[in-house]
Amino acid sequence: MSSGISQLLEQIHEFSRRCLFRVISVGPLPIHLAFIMDGNRRYAKKRGLEDGSGHKVGFSALMSMLQYCYELGIKYVTIYAFSIDNFRRKPEEVKSLMNLMLEKIKSLLDKESIVHEYGIRVHFIGNFALLSDQVRAAAEEVMEATAKNSRVLLLVCVAYNSTDEIVQAVKKSCTNKLVEHSEGRDRDIERIQLVNIEETMQMRVAPGPDILIRSSGETRRSNFLLWQTGSSQLFSPDALWSEIGLRHLVWTILNFQRSHSYLEKKKKKPL
């Protein structure tokens, strides 16, 4: 009986959520949302959970957020899963994070997983050389398995730093220019253009984020998408990542809509 009621409540909840999304969709919606999922450890401490379980709860919060994004029709979602700076943490914590990541990446391969249900294509961004062979192999498997999906593109930044991404792009552009020079196609290899750097960036698969949301109230970007968020709106709600819910997303989008026309004018400007 109680399961019937809870099912009913869930359906009512879903229905009202879809109505709310319909209303919001009257205004302009962001195409690309980026998330810095900060505050998992603090959440575990706050709830008296054991160390490491904060990240598991964080993963479920991420799944809910992906569902909302899918329902709203947002095409690109980028998440900051693991930074190169995070390797400096205690080895036990790094190891448990890597194990959790491996477990969750593998779970995406399940037939019933959210990526197949919602047609999410998963793409991993970062310095793969820094990852263990297992994680790297699992990531490549997921990328291949979801390559045909096209409703949503989920970009997962693992072993990522924006400055590292830029360095790799600079190296590749220089190499490309050297090759062009040696083939006699281009004389001025030092006249690298913006487009040469951008076409070698790993994040070129998506347009720049419209909104960057960082949970837990910290207002900094921590070396995330520095190149791509030049004109993104930045929001830093105080809630920890697992506490971020529908109301934060809706509030963020409403704020985005308020200043949208100004943003659009800015986007059309030459650099």
- Tokens 């398995």 -> residue: 145
Residue in 23, 230, 238, 251 binding other proteins, rule: CB under 8 A:
230
Residue in 10, 218, 238, 264 binding other proteins, rule: CB under 8 A:
218
Residue 132 or 231 with smaller CB distance to other proteins: 231
Residue in 109, 145, 226, 246 binding other proteins, rule: CB under 8 A:
226
Please tell me whether residue 266 binds other proteins under the rule CB under 8 A.
yes
State how far Cα 90 lies from the chain centre: 24
Sign of CA dihedral 154, 103, 239, 19: positive
At residue 89, what are phi and psi to the nearest 5 degrees?
A: -75, 175
Cβ–Cβ contacts within 10 Å for residue 56, how many? 16
Residue 18 or 258 with smaller CB distance to other proteins: 258
In angstroms, what is the minimal distance from the CB of 192 to other proteins? 5
Residues identified as active-site: 38
What distance in Å separates the CA atoms of residue 56 and residue 164, rounded to the nearest whole number? 27
Question: How many residues form the binding site for other proteins (CB under 8 A)?
Answer: 51
Q: What is the CA radius of gyration of the chain?
A: 20
- Tokens 């920890």 -> residue: 240
Stretch that binds other proteins, among 58-66, 101-109, 141-149, 260-268 (CB under 8 A): 260-268
Please tell me whether residue 186 binds other proteins under the rule CB under 8 A.
no
In angstroms, what is the minimal distance from the CB of 88 to other proteins? 5
SS3 category, 221:
coil
SS3 category, 30:
coil
What distance in Å separates the CA atoms of residue 100 and residue 59, rounded to the nearest whole number? 10
SS3 category, 175:
helix
Please tell me whether residue 48 binds other proteins under the rule CB under 8 A.
no
Position 179, amino acid: V
Residue in 24, 189, 239, 246 binding other proteins, rule: CB under 8 A:
189
Residue 33 or 142 with smaller CB distance to other proteins: 33
Contacting other proteins within 126-165 (CB under 8 A): 161-164
Contact 160, 83 (CB under 8 A): yes
Altogether, the residues listed in the chain come to a count of 271
Residue in 56, 222, 250, 257 binding other proteins, rule: CB under 8 A:
222
Residues within the interface to other proteins (CB under 8 A): 41, 83-86, 88-90, 93, 161-164, 166-167, 170-171, 173-175, 177-178, 189-194, 197, 218-223, 226-227, 229-235, 259, 262, 265-266, 269-271
